[in-house]
Structure formats: structure tokens, C-alpha cells
Structure 1
Amino acid sequence: MSLKKATLLIIVILLIDQISKFYIKTQFSLHQRIEVFSWFQILFVENDGMAWGTKLSDFIPGISDRKAKLALTLFRIFAVIGIGYWLVVSVKKNGPKTLIIAIALILSGALGNIIDSVFYGVIFSDSYGQVATFLPEVGYDTLFHGKVVDMLHFPIWQGLLPQWIPFYGGEHFTFFEPVFNVADMAISSGIGILIIFNKKVFHEEDDHVEKNPYDVNE
């Protein structure tokens, strides 16, 4: 798979992700929801941390939420640079198509969420009890402190867990509880491909390197 095709895939996913987030941010107030089906809702929430709303400050004692947020955003930027390098190298080595698609998915998703974290605090007003304004005089936060916009919610099943389940028996449970976005889907899909096809992907890559140790364009 060529770098041009991989880049096109990244751009398409990035556009879908950002267009959906822009629409939600400018049409919904925070926590507003629309039920599309009983098992699928559009629910606007904002994520200030890592996956599932976890914050870096939850794991590092003594660090403030703002410093943790900045550190997480900077880490994501460096991670994206590394993933981008991995993609370019894999393409130059004529790596397996499956591997290149997986890396492109992960990269597009990471870029999508980084845009939120870096710029959204500046280019949008807050969404508490109101629909946000695009390019306000003053945004809801500073550069690098934006919140990731999530909106896809699939409460496929809700109910009380059986009493015989240890610790959680009798408690209300929702499957699937987390709210996510297109970028999260891309990242999860890319990682899933690497896990499911891991032997095939990395075995083919190793075989190619052994056969073509000098000519990366063969």
C-alpha cells in the first residue's frame, strides 16, 4: 500500500471525525442527547483526560489536573510523531497492507483527538447549559487544554446484574457504557487489527526485511 493511499485514508477519517465533532459542539449543549434507536444515542460529553475519562493526575500524586492535561497532550503529540514515522518506514519497506492500514487508522484517530486537546479550548466557547460558539472572543480554555468531544453511545443492554455475581450483583449495569467518537473507533480498529492479525502482519514484515535488507523499494 502506497503512502499516498495511506495518507488519503487518514485524511478521510480525520475529516469525518472533525466534522462530526464540530457539528456536535455547535448544535448540542453538554450532556444533551438524542435517541436514534433504543440501543444507540447521540450523547454529547467532553473528555478531559485519557480513555474512559481517566486523568493522568489519578496516577501521579501531587500533580495538578492542568499540568497533567498539558503533559498528556504533549505526550500524544510525540506519540503521533512516532506513529507517523512508523507508517513512513513501513511503506518504504513495502510492509504488509494490513499493517499499513492499521497504523493509518491509529494515526488518524490520534490526530483527531489531538486537534481537540490542542485547539478546541481556544476556538470554542464552553458548552455548559448552552450551545458553544465557534471562534469566540475568548475560548473556554487555553491552548493545549481543550477537551475531547465524544458523542457515540451504545447502551445495548441496561438492567440489574444477577445477585450471584461477586461484588457487583444487584447493581444497575449498562452495556456499553462509555461514550466515544470516530477517532476512538479508528484507534480501536487499528489496534484490533494488529492484535487479531499480529502473527501474519509482523511475520510478513520480518520475511520482507530478510529478503530485501538493502533495497527498500523492491
Structure 2
Amino acid sequence: MKNILSKGQLSILIVLGILILDQVIKIEVKTNMFYNESIHITDWFYLRFIENPGMAFGMQIVPKAIQTIARTIFAIAIGWYIVILIKARYKRGYIACVSLILAGAIGNIIDSIFYGVIFSKSTPTEISTFVPIGEGYTGWLH
């Protein structure tokens, strides 16, 4: 069976598609839910609005600017790794999986750079809104 997309095109499509979906969902949650609000989807799936400063689980080991620089370096490395995988003729499924990781990494970079600048603070009693750049709840590199 002939593939419609090359491995590179597939990777780009996955990254862009997931990034768009990720940002749309995050913006919808941020502008329609209270902080820590939970929505019951099924018996085993709840959507809960939380925000972690720093890295996973809210760990703050190094300054935020260094975290963002490190995230950016890692994302570039993952992108380069995908290029290597494509040139080495790895299977499409593996390239797709690494592309999903890259999309998540880029999404986290976008969040850390912009979200504190363009949104008001989310609280348990107040839903976040878009605000003019610079009037958000924190500066760049949140």
C-alpha cells in the first residue's frame, strides 16, 4: 500500500495538529473553567483544571528562564532526532510517537512563554480572561 504522506510530512502534520488541538483545549479550559474545577466525562475520566508552576508536579529546581531555555534545547534536539529517524528509514509508527512528544514539548514552551502575559489569573472563584499583553498575572517565561 502506498503512503499518501512522506514520513517528514506525517511528522509535521502530527506536530501541527496536536499543537493546534492542545492550544484550543487549553484556551477553552482556561477561559471557561474555575481553577481546580472538575468535569465528569466518564466513570474513569475527569477533566480537572490545574496549573503547575515550573516542571512536572510543580517542581521549581532552576529559574524559569533556564527552564525555558532547556525546554527549547530539548525540543530542538527532539526535532533533530526526528530528522535522523527519517533519514535512517525508521518505521512511521515510531516517528509518529516521537512527533507526539515533540508536539507536547513545543506546547509546554508556548504555555511557559505566553500564558501569564495574555491571561488574567485563574482562581477557584474567578475564570481567566484574555487581557492586553503585559497585563497578565505574571511576566514572560511563566
Larger relative contact order (Cα-Cα within 8 Å, sequence gap ≥ 6): 2
Query: In structure 2, what is the equivalent of residue 20 of structure 1?
Result: 25
TM-score by length of 1: 0.58
* Structure with the bigger percentage of strand: 1
Q: Return 89-98 or 21-30, whichever deviates more.
A: 89-98
Aligned residues: 135
Is 1:132 the equivalent of 2:128?
yes
Task: Write the distance in 2 (CA, Å) between the matches of 1:19 and 1:31.
Answer: 19
Secondary structure class of the residue paired with 1:42:
strand
Q: Does 1:143 align with 2:134?
A: no
Q: What percentage of residue pairs aligned between the two structures are identical?
A: 39
- Distance apart, 1:89 and its partner CA: 2.2
How far apart are the structure 2 equivalents of 1:27 and 1:141?
20
Question: Gapped runs of 5+ residues in structure 2?
Answer: 1-5
Q: Secondary structure at the match of 2:127?
A: coil
- The one-letter code sitting in structure 1 at the alignment partner of 2:69 is L
Q: CA deviation at 1:47?
A: 1.0
Alignment of 1:52-71 (within 5 A): 52-56=57-61, 68-71=63-66
Q: TM-score, normalised by structure 2?
A: 0.86
**Deviation readout 1:37-70 (Å, 9 max, x if unpaired):** 343222111011222222215xxxxxxxxxx222
Q: Which one of 82, 93, 98 corresponds to residue 98 of structure 1?
A: 93
CA-to-aligned-CA distance 1:178-206 (integer Å, 9 cap, x gap): xxxxxxxxxxxxxxxxxxxxxxxxxxxxx
Which residue of 2 is the match for residue 197 of structure 1? none
Q: 1:83 to 1:26 in 2, by over 3 A?
A: same
Compute the RMSD of aligned alpha carbons. 1.6
Larger radius of gyration: 1
Q: Work out the CA distance in 2 between the residues paired with 1:17 and 1:81.
A: 19
Contact persistence 2:10–2:96 (CA under 8 A): no
- Aligned-residue offset at 1:131: 1.1
Runs of 4+ residues over 4 Å off in structure 1: none
Question: Matches of 1:30 and 1:136 in 2, distance apart?
Answer: 21
